Amino acid sequence: MTKSAKKRSTAKSATSSKRSKSTKVATKHVRMAVRSGTKQSAAIEMLRAGDGATIESLTKATGWQQHSVRGFLAGVVRKRLKLDLESAVIDGVRTYWIAGERGAESTQTKQVGQS
């Protein structure tokens, strides 16, 4: 390779890395929306339910494999959507839910019933 070819290849990689950095900064603080009627939205609704969801229940509902469900929980729910996902072992089975939304229906029902 000639010196001018090396200069061109390094110049291209330097400009492409600058572009990717600016793109990451621009989308870093944006909360992504979830389309309704998708497997992803169904899984999130299960996580928002009062009882939460297990990996087994999410695999049955979405048709995904266990490792795909775990990747969805870590990559999409926590990182991309920036939702606070919590979990606990209940009766020997790990259950996941979105924090702040678990049991919200029961509190609203009590408030409505007391009025």
Q: Which domains does the chain have, with CATH numbers?
A: 38-104 (1.10.10)
Amino acid making up residue 10: T
Amino acid making up residue 44: I
Q: What digits encode the pLDDT tens for the residues 52-67?
A: 999 999 999 999 999 9
Question: How many angstroms from the chain centroid is the CA of residue 77?
Answer: 2
User: Higher pLDDT residue, 68 or 37?
Assistant: 68
- What's the whole-model pTM score? 0.59
Question: How many angstroms from the chain centroid is the CA of residue 55?
Answer: 14
pLDDT of residue 50: 84
Q: For residue 20, is pLDDT > 60?
A: no
Amino acid making up residue 92: G
Mean pLDDT of 19-36: 53
User: Higher pLDDT residue, 47 or 32?
Assistant: 47
